[in-house]
Amino acid sequence: MRLISLRLPDEIQSSLERESARVQRPKSELARDAIAEYLERRERQRFEADLARAARARSNTEALAVAAEALPLDNESLDLADGLAVAEPRRHYDASRRGSTRARKKR
């Protein structure tokens, strides 16, 4: 791992020190995580801009529809990659529904 040195404004340095103490993690680790997240976000923004630019250049509504359809899937993939839980949609249970055990017992 390479070593870098950077100057921080006093207010950012103070915030970093407070957060480091709060989460009990080294300042350098917090800074590495923040830089990595920033770079990933910028890369994603460039990708989305390129995708939108290509879709506009084609002036194709189908391309825009495909991109809009793929975006939630891409976001879910990113959440999974980041280790975040992705909640499955829950099916609504209707006990009064015909054919349910409770409804059959009442007959």
> What is the pLDDT, as a whole number, of residue 107?
47
By the 8 A CB rule, do 55 and 64 touch? yes
Mean pLDDT for each 10-residue chunk of the chain (107 residues)?
Answer: 93 97 96 94 89 74 70 62 56 50 49
By the 8 A CB rule, do 31 and 16 touch? yes
By the 8 A CB rule, do 67 and 52 touch? yes
Global pTM value:
0.53
**Cα diameter, the chain:** 77
